[in-house]
Structure formats: C-alpha cells, structure tokens
Amino acid sequence: MKTEAVTRDDDDARANDDGSNDGLTAFERAREAHIARNKARMEALNINALSAGVGAASRGSAASSRGITGKRNRDKASAPSVPTRRSSRARKIAPELASGVDRERRDGTVVLANGATYHPSGELTAAPTRTRPSGEVAMRSENGSEKTDAAFIEELKTKMGAHVGETKEAKEATASVREMIKNKLTLRDVDVAKCVPKGVTHLDFSPDESMLLVASGDKEGHIGLWRVDKTTSEEEDEDDGVLYYKAHGSYISHCKWGRGALRGKLFTCAYDGAVRVLDPQTGSFQETVYSEEDEFSACDQFADGNTALVCDNVGNLHQLDLRVGKFTSPSLSIHEKKINTVHIDPGNEHRFATSTNQLVSVWDARKLKKNAKSTHDLVHRKSSQAAYWCPDGSGALLTTCYDDALRVWHPDRSAAAPTATIKHNNQTGRWVLPFRAVWSAAGDGVLCGSMTRQVEIFNPATGASLARYASPDHMTAIASRLACHRSLNYVAAGTASGRVHVYRA
C-alpha cells in the first residue's frame, strides 16, 4: 500500500510538472497534494472534533471563586506589573549573608532568616517588629465593606446572640457516620470557599442550626467566618458569605465554638500570647487575657463558662478564669516540650488529656498543683499530634501519631495498649500541616484527611475503613484539618490554601 501511495504521488507530480506557474517543484506539489488528501480523510473521520472533546475533558474544573478570592475582591484593584526577576548571583550578591538567605522575592529583594531584607539597590532594611492587635478588636473585616460588616454583626446578634448565656446545648449530637454513609455525602462547587489567606490550622461548625456557620483560623492570625448557605446577588456591596478578620498576630492554635454556658461564643488563641472571645452581642473579638512571655499552642474551655485550660509551646499549663480574664495560679510545667492539644472530656469534666512529643497524658482537673502527676500516660513511638475524647461520654480517647497510626484508647480499662489501631499514612511532609483525626458527633466514627486528597472514615471499634469521600474537581489539596457538625451530617475539610470544603448530602 505504501508503494501505491508513492506511485500516486509521483503521477500527480508528473501531471502537474508541465505548464505549472505556481513556482513549486514537482516534489513540493506532491507533498501539498499528500497533505490535502490526509486533511480530507481526517475531516471525514471527524478527528478534529473528537480530539477537542478529549482535551476539554482532560482539563480540570477551576478552583471555586467563592470567598476571599472571589470576583468582588479581585476587581477592586489590578495587580501592579512585576519587574523581571534577577537572581542574587546575577546581581553579584554574596550567598553568605549575616543570618542566611530565607527566600528571594520576584522583585529581586532578598529576605534574610532574621526577617531583614536586602534590596536590589544595596540597601539593607532591618526586620520589621511583629505587631499584633491589642485590646478589643472590632469586627471590621479585611474583605468586606462597612455595609456588609454591619449586616453580618446584626445577623449574629439576632440568630446567635440570643443563645449567649444559655446552659443547655443547641441540640443533641445526632450526626452519625451511619447517616453520612446512607446519605452519600458529596462536595459541590458552591460548598467550597477560601475563608482565610493562609493555611487552615483550625476550624469548627457553629452548633446552632439557625445559621450554618463555619469558623476557621490560619497561620497568620486571621479568623474566617463563612455562612455556607448564604445566597448572593451581583450587588457590589454584598458579600458572598465569607468575611475574615485580623484577630491575632500569628498562628491560630485554637478556634472553637463554646458549649454550655459559653454557647454562641467563639474562642480563639494564638502564638501571639492572646486568648480572645467573639461575642455576638458586642460584635467584637474581646481580649480575655494576654501574656507577653508565652506562646499559646492549645486551649479548651469547661462547659460552666468559668475556666479555660491554656497550654504553651514549652510544656506549661495555665488555668484561666474567664470571668475576670486572669490566670488563677502560676503555670504548671506538665511536659518537656510543646503541648499540641488539650481536650476536656465532655462526659467527665474532672479530667482532660494533653498530647506532646511521644506522650499522651490524662490529668485530674481537681488535682492541678505543683508537681502534679498524670493519672494515665499513653506512650507513643513518635510525636502525638492530637488527643480527643469521644463526644458520647464513653471515655474513649482518639490519638494521631507520626508513626502512621490512629489509635483508640480506653484509659480506664488499660493504658498499656489501645483497643483499636488504624494504619494511616501520616507523613504529610514539610508544607502540609500534620493530620489530626476527629470523632463524628455521635462518636460512632473516626474521620481523618489523607495524602490522596480524601476524607476517610473508620470504625473506632475495629479500625476498618467505612467510607472515603473525594472530589478531584473541587478538592485538589490535602485536607489536614476536619470538623463535623453536631446535628447535621456535614463534614468540613480545611487545606493549606485557606479553603474550606463542606461535604453534605
């Protein structure tokens, strides 16, 4: 067949060789004729349309525009043109600077490890002094307007402020893994929003069904509040449900809605040494306490609303009186290294658990004094990133460890070994926050993000996998932090991009 094709090409060339004024040689005319025949065959087979369809299918969906990266924010100002990047070597900057090079910006500025900057002009600027919001911080959002801020504050007062001070819970914890699996949770584009500028460190659902509200904190002290079900129009002065605030000066280490007497309030703390409370009735982040010497790494509150436990990055435990905003006693050194989490058992508030390097300890809250001893020590092979009590009051304790395991313990039965061990890849690497597995609201399931960009659910009794939820189009990053709604079968997943994804039926 190849010989016949060549013969036909030669015949066409000889036929057009004489009397042609197109300026082409016989070989060029034969080549053009061959291309024309191939093009006709492709058109007959509809190859072009089929290839275009394959290309369109291979392209993933664009990231959700809801939240602080939405159109309303991008249109406010166009980004200035960026000068061509030139390396330090091209500009003859010596590599060995005073404190080492941390990074180089696109404009050629070199940032040193101590925070100082070396400009292309040769000027050296000292490291900026870290600033933090002080005193009471008004709810003046970073991405909204006066109109949207005022409307949101009024909505908070109406829907959530009325519950402040009530001692009963918003609703019984009924959201269960069985119902989640039965209803087949999915992730839609409208249920994805960028809530904070940097990576999500903590997130929590408001327990009240009057407003589906997700609070999240990030690495730079921002608090994002997202009304998931808010509908929007194209009006210029209307937000799309996401407003975020600069409530702290550094990494948010706690962001949780209060329970019991603290219902309706949002508690936050950060490495800037401040503990704050968002009170819907005042519409502000009130500073409960501030310590210039401490960097708070974990926090939890008792349901009576009187006391909170605050931990820092050197292993100290502080007891905070929320009524007067003062520490009730000197700090207690209970661990040698940073305390990652502290959690009060909702079924027995006389005890709480702390997680640190290779140890999870259980403490009696009534016996906190100098040289206090833990009641149980749960030893792990590597660093334990989290320890959370089961919300059903059963006394089960869930831990997440860097040795690639999630464990369920019952300290009252035995502290020597867990009752269930779940194998799980916890090697998130340098750029993703460590996983922290959480309980379902009913306590019948363990949920954790995964390196395969999924939300995984396990049986806490056997460790068996029950379900996996993923959305390649809408969740393209690893979700290291999760939260479950108390009474609705919703799961929120936060990623390093600052986005929050809400899976629901």
pLDDT in tens, 314-333: 999 999 999 999 999 999 99
The answer on 142 and 123 residing in a single domain is: no
Structural tokens at position 289: 């306490």
Q: Are residues 209 and 245 in the same domain?
A: yes
Calpha distance 304→226 (Å, rounded):
27
Domain C-terminal end among 108, 129, 150:
129
pLDDT at 205: 97
Give the structural domain span for 162.
137-503
Which of the listed ranges 157-166, 185-194, 233-242 does the model predict with the highest average pLDDT?
Answer: 185-194
pLDDT score at 71? 47
125 and 142 belong to one structural domain: no
Q: Residue 200: name the closest of 145, 242, 152 by CA.
A: 242
Q: How far is CA 60 from CA 57, 120, 185, 188, in A?
A: 7, 39, 21, 14
Give yes or no: residues 291 and 348 share one domain.
Answer: yes
> How much is the pTM?
0.78
| Residue 161 and residue 104 share a domain | no
pLDDT-based confidence at residue 302 (cuts at 50, 70, 90) = very high
Q: How many CB atoms lie within 10 A of CB 237?
A: 11
Cα–Cα distance for residue pair 98/110, rounded to 1 Å: 12
Are residue 123 and residue 205 in the same domain, yes or no? no
Read off the pLDDT of residues 276-293 as tens digits, 9 standing for 90 and up. Answer: 999 888 899 999 999 999
Domain count for the chain: 2
Domain final position from 129, 151, 167: 129
SS3 150: helix
Based on the fold, state whether residues 143 and 119 are members of the same structural domain.
Answer: no
Indicate whether 111 and 143 sit together in one domain.
Answer: no
Q: Which two tokens stand for residue 408?
A: 């369920």
Do 209 and 294 belong to one domain?
A: yes
Residues 6+ apart with CB under 8 A from 401: 380, 381, 382, 383, 384, 385, 407, 426
Among positive and negative, which fits the CA dihedral 437, 69, 161, 287? positive
Shared domain for 260 and 141, answered yes or no, is yes
- Pair (110, 175) in one structural domain: no
d(CA 218, CA 244): 10
Q: How far is CA 348 from CA 263, 362, 467, in A?
A: 19, 12, 30
**Are 103 and 158 in the same domain?**
no
Domain end point (choices 110, 129, 148): 129
* Residues forming beta bridges with residue 465, ordered by sequence position: 458
Position 62 in a domain: no
Residue 264, in any domain of the structure = yes
- How far apart are the C-alpha atoms of 323 and 218, rounded to whole Å? 27
